[in-house]
Chain A
Amino acid sequence: MKQDTILLAHGSGGTLMHKLISGLFASKFSNPILDKLDDSATFELPPGRVSFSTDTYVVQPLMFRGGNIGKLAVCGTVNDVSAMGAEPMYLSCGFVIEEGLAVSELETILDSMVASAKEAGVLIVTGDTKVVEKGGADRLFINTAGVGVVRDGVDIGAAKAKIGDKILLSGTIGDHGIAVVSEREGLTFETAVESDCAPLNKMISSMLDVSRNVHCLRDPTRGGLASALNEFAAASDVGLHIIEDRVPVRDEVAGACELLGYDVFHVANEGKIVAIVEPADADAVLAAMKTSPYGVDAAIIGEVVDEPKGKVLVDTHFGSTRILDILVGEQLPRIC
């Protein structure tokens, strides 16, 4: 009999679980390394430094415009591995499922994971599933980890920004955060904004093809562009100076930020990259970004300066200069 929902028995090691794993996970993710279904995956890595990253995804709602938790879990880890200048190759994934989750919903999520992994050119080679009682989790949590090999000659790190370097951003900010929050209970508003969730490894790869002088790279996820820039400023002990008018923001995202009292610089992205690049290479790297479908709106948004150390300054559209602060805690709508 076909099950409509995930039951606790699925996680207890019995036949139900076996069916679920072989039926769903193994068939969808199928590849020669995974298909062996051994206790762990074994594979060879090309020579070089390994980049290894893990992240756990707990987004609510599970489905949002432009993606779902599965797409996010694959893209997020692919992007984290890539942001060190590595080519991501293999992923693991762990699922914590609250009993009662519809099998059809899980299938949709797995299909997205397959599609994103395929686009990124990575294989999901090992995984695990746990089913917990009602209330033990919020429907579905996914952990992914990824490994890749860092390109020869590339040396990327948050502490490597140098005075005079240019700051590049791959496109509009705030899309993901606004797409997700617009569907939360209590805050519903209609917008066509889609999450920008996307695998960026190919774009990053093309950037590194044209320059060995990309000093910092980061995907500005939670805490938005403001967090990523502040982390660079602090780690490199330099100032960052950006021009508000050069930072692309969709009108709808700006509108939603007005409505909710958000600062768009604090709103999360899942398909953007911010790079700090040697000035001589900046135009070439920008051109490389723009060849990617995820980088058409890429722009040079500012540069690295001497002072104030550890801080980010923004020249506002209004003609003043302000400090760009880090978001403290959770972003909450401001009303009264």
Chain B
Amino acid sequence: MCLGVPGKIVSVTDIMGMRSADVDISGVKRQVSLDLCPEAKEEDYVLVHAGFAIQIIDEQEAEETLKLLQDLTGVDLPEAESAS
């Protein structure tokens, strides 16, 4: 129901108390508001929905999910692929 796209914060700006970030989604840049994610900072990956960052992606959890999947299935992915 709700499209949320992971993107990386490349810069944060503060215009008249409104914090926003330039988010890079695979080479596409979109300015998003940080009103709902005030703690997000440069280099963080955030979920982007309707012009807002709605959550910071937990990189450690993301890696663990993949690791869990690999353990579960007994499939070892080549480094390059799992890190891509």
A and B touch in the complex (CB under 8 A): yes
Chain A residues with CB under 8 Å of chain B are 182, 189-193, 250-252, 254-256, 258-259, 261, 334-336
Q: How large is the interface on B (under 10, 10 to 19, 20 to 34, 35 or more residues)?
A: 10 to 19
Q: Is residue B48 contacting chain A, with contact meaning CB distance below 8 A?
A: yes
The 0/1 profile, CB within 8 Å of A marked 1, for residues 1-33 of chain B is 111010000000000000000100111111000
Contacts A258-B5, A259-B5, A261-B3 known; A336 to B27 CB distance under 8 Å? no
Within the complex, what minimum Cβ distance (angstroms) separates A331 from chain B?
15
- Sample of 11 more A-B contacts, CB < 8 Å, known A190-B22, A193-B28, A335-B49: A189-B28, A189-B29, A190-B28, A190-B29, A193-B27, A255-B26, A258-B25, A258-B26, A259-B25, A259-B28, A335-B2
Q: In the assembled complex, which residues on chain A have CB atoms less than 8 Å from the CB atom of B48?
A: 259
Task: Select A336's contact among B3, B22, B26, B29, beta carbons within 8 Å.
Answer: B3
Contacts A258-B5, A336-B3 known; A192 to B25 CB distance under 8 Å? no
How many residue pairs, one in A and one in B, have C-beta atoms under 8 Å apart?
46
Chain A residue with minimal CB distance to B25? A255
CA distance A291 to B29 in the complex (A): 33
Chain A residue with minimal CB distance to B22? A190
Within the complex, what minimum Cβ distance (angstroms) separates B78 from chain A?
16
Residue pair A190, B30 in contact (C-beta under 8 Å): yes
Chain B residues with CB under 8 Å of chain A are 1-3, 5, 22, 25-30, 48-50
Closest 10 CB pairs of A and B: A255-B26, A252-B27, A190-B29, A255-B25, A189-B30, A255-B28, A251-B26, A191-B28, A256-B28, A258-B5
Residue pair A252, B50 in contact (C-beta under 8 Å): no
Q: In the assembled complex, which residues on chain B have CB atoms less than 8 Å from the CB atom of A192?
A: 27
Q: In the assembled complex, which residues on chain B have CB atoms less than 8 Å from the CB atom of A261?
A: 3
Residue pair A252, B3 in contact (C-beta under 8 Å): no
Within the complex, what minimum Cβ distance (angstroms) separates B53 from chain A?
13
CA distance A256 to B30 in the complex (A): 10
CA distance A261 to B28 in the complex (A): 14
Would you give 25 A-B contacts (Cβ < 8 Å), ordered by A? A189-B28, A189-B29, A189-B30, A190-B30, A191-B27, A191-B29, A193-B28, A251-B26, A252-B26, A252-B27, A252-B28, A255-B25, A255-B26, A255-B27, A256-B25, A256-B28, A258-B26, A259-B30, A261-B3, A334-B3, A335-B49, A336-B1, A336-B2, A336-B3, A336-B50
Q: In the assembled complex, which residues on chain B have CB atoms less than 8 Å from the CB atom of A256?
A: 25, 28
Q: In the assembled complex, which residues on chain B have CB atoms less than 8 Å from the CB atom of A335?
A: 2-3, 49-50
CA distance A192 to B3 in the complex (A): 23
Q: In the assembled complex, which residues on chain A have CB atoms less than 8 Å from the CB atom of B49?
A: 335
Q: In the assembled complex, which residues on chain A have CB atoms less than 8 Å from the CB atom of B50?
A: 335-336
CA distance A189 to B48 in the complex (A): 13
CA distance A251 to B8 in the complex (A): 14
CA distance A254 to B3 in the complex (A): 15
Chain B residue with minimal CB distance to A261? B3
CA distance A192 to B24 in the complex (A): 12
Chain A residue with minimal CB distance to B1? A336
Q: In the assembled complex, which residues on chain A have CB atoms less than 8 Å from the CB atom of B1?
A: 336
CA distance A259 to B31 in the complex (A): 12
CA distance A120 to B27 in the complex (A): 32
Chain A residue with minimal CB distance to B50? A335
CA distance A19 to B3 in the complex (A): 54
Within the complex, what minimum Cβ distance (angstroms) separates B74 from chain A?
17
CA distance A255 to B28 in the complex (A): 6
Q: In the assembled complex, which residues on chain B have CB atoms less than 8 Å from the CB atom of A259?
A: 5, 25, 28, 30, 48
Chain B residue with minimal CB distance to A189? B30
Q: In the assembled complex, which residues on chain A have CB atoms less than 8 Å from the CB atom of B27?
A: 191-193, 250-252, 255
